[in-house]
Structure 1
Amino acid sequence: MAPTPQELYRAVDRTWAPADVITEGPWTIRRGEGGGKRVSAATLNRRDIDDLSRAIEQAEEAMSGIGQEPLFMIRDGDALLDARLGAIGYRIVDPVTLFVASADRLSRMDHPDHSVIRCDAPLAIQRDIWAAGGVGPERIAAMERVTAPKTFLLARCDNQPAACAFIAADGDVTMLHAMEVAPRFRRRGLGRLVTAAAAEWAMEQGSGWLSLLATRANTAANGLYRAMGMEAAAQYHYRQRQTQPPRDR
């Protein structure tokens, strides 16, 4: 059976790690240290709250207390929170779709015959490819903090480093993060190659499913994942009051 949205949210949490996690009343507060919205947003842990407005204030105070602007992640089941935040001036930012497919099927899809190596830690060339795509050291630190089984992928094309990605396993779900193809190697099937390599690794970890995510605005990525037969299985978006750093996945 395919993973539920809640299982996918858990996999995202466990495979892209914040610098610190604080429980504050009904909230999980994350300290991101520049690692992106996923590791900086507050999420609601329970919904049996008598005074939602006061609970929101509690989260705002907690985030301000660690030097972060208030930022909320809205997941399936958070409709009341979403509406309340909208009513007090929080706007929607970066709607995200989580895609999922059978790891076995993805591992067998057609792809270019180039090599993909696995690295225990990010190589300098991987850091360079990521940096060119806007994935800086703070986001790489989020990868390095992950304690789940993980590896860093590097794909080669024409005997040159061409693409990279980070993958980590949470039980039956392996998450593929930060797939980046160097500009000169795009439109050569490397996205399919890296995804297939990630699926092979996922099966070795005992995961039956491979998942990844993309902002809805990233139409190229959404088209690629749908073309590979991946299905939209969950979604989330953020609510924030102020303009934040450039959008991220």
Structure 2
Amino acid sequence: AAPAGQGGIGADVEAAEARHRAWGQPELFAVEREDAALAHALRRRGYAESEPTLILSSPVAPLCEPEIPSVTAMALWPPLAIQRELWLACDVGPERQAIMERVQTPKAAIIGRMDDRAAGACFVAVQGEVALMHALAVLPQWRGRGLGAWMVRRAARFARAQGAAQLGLSVTEDNAVARAFYARLGFSEIGGYSYWRRE
């Protein structure tokens, strides 16, 4: 890695830090696990690694089967107020919801219903042949009853309708429950990254 201020990675890190400060945001980097040079440069500047995260992917086609039961999972935009409340209840706060708003490609908020009530929500956006899913949340009292899988399948159907062939998502490495859930649906690991913050 080049020393800070002398070009290369060090200069890139300094420029990114300046941009974060201009935005009034804390300095935060997402670093792919293969990028040892950037990780080393950040460590030298007092950053520490956190939240190792896996990137998972599945072909869209198999996720589009079987048929989704009526009114179990629906795609819409913008999100309903109840979806925003569900996300808040599941720790998907205003900052993460604002990212969804800024997305300029085809997108949808999936609402999941169980026992005639809104019980879950997730977000999906499509760029070309790839769709990314984010913020899958099911209220605790309805977990373990299959609603999450139906919402993933609805996200896949939305993705297919927009021309996507792959559905991807990220999950923290230590979230064994989520990893097992996605594995059962046919997702496999294709990469990973970690966040780096000042110690």
Task: Give the TM-score taking structure 2 as reference length.
Answer: 0.89
Output the amino acid matched with 2:176: T
- Answer yes or no: is the 8 Å Cα contact 2:75–2:155 preserved in 1: no
Aligned to 2:16: 59
Find out whether 1:139 has 2:96 as its counterpart. Answer: yes
Distance 1:117 1:157 in 2: 12
- Deviations 1:138-196, CA, capped at 9 Å, x for gaps: 22121111110011111111111111111110111111111110111011011111111
Output the amino acid matched with 1:102: P
Aligned to 1:155: 112
Aligned to 1:188: 145
Q: Tell me how far 1:111 sits from its aligned partner.
A: 7.2
**Structure 1 pair 50–105 and aligned structure 2 pair: CA distance change class (3 A):** same
Distance 1:102 1:240 in 2: 33
Aligned to 1:4: none
Q: Tell me how far 1:56 sits from its aligned partner.
A: 2.5
- Answer yes or no: is the 8 Å Cα contact 2:107–2:126 preserved in 1: yes
Count matched residues. Answer: 194
**Structure 1 pair 171–69 and aligned structure 2 pair: CA distance change class (3 A):** same
Output the amino acid matched with 1:171: G
Q: Tell me how far 1:94 sits from its aligned partner.
A: 1.0
Aligned to 2:165: 208
Question: 3-state SS of the aligned residue for 2:136?
Answer: strand
Identify which of 75, 78, 85 aligns with 2:32.
75
- Deviations 1:176-224, CA, capped at 9 Å, x for gaps: 1111101110110111111111111111111111111111122211111
Aligned to 2:127: 170
Structure 1 gaps of 5+ residues are: 1-48, 243-249
Distance 2:59 2:133 in 1: 13
**Structure 1 pair 78–133 and aligned structure 2 pair: CA distance change class (3 A):** same
Question: 3-state SS of the aligned residue for 1:152?
Answer: strand
Find out whether 1:85 has 2:42 as its counterpart. Answer: yes
Distance 1:72 1:165 in 2: 24
Output the amino acid matched with 1:82: A
Aligned to 1:241: 198
Tell which deviates more after alignment, 137-146 or 165-174: 137-146
- Answer yes or no: is the 8 Å Cα contact 2:50–2:197 preserved in 1: yes
Question: 3-state SS of the aligned residue for 1:122?
Answer: coil
**Structure 1 pair 187–110 and aligned structure 2 pair: CA distance change class (3 A):** farther
Task: Give the TM-score taking structure 1 as reference length.
Answer: 0.72
Please tell me the root mean square deviation across aligned C-alpha atoms, in Å. 2.0
Q: Tell me how far 1:64 sits from its aligned partner.
A: 2.3
- Deviations 1:73-93, CA, capped at 9 Å, x for gaps: 112542111122223321101
Give every structure 1 segment of 4 or more consecutive aligned residues whose post-TM-superposition deviation is greater than 4 Å.
109-114
Distance 2:168 2:63 in 1: 11
Tell which deviates more after alignment, 216-225 or 61-70: 61-70
- Answer yes or no: is the 8 Å Cα contact 1:101–1:210 preserved in 2: yes
- Deviations 1:54-77, CA, capped at 9 Å, x for gaps: 443333233223322221111254
Aligned to 1:220: 177
% same residue: 35
Query: Which one has more relative contact order, counting CA pairs under 8 Å at least 6 apart?
Result: 2
Distance 1:116 1:51 in 2: 48
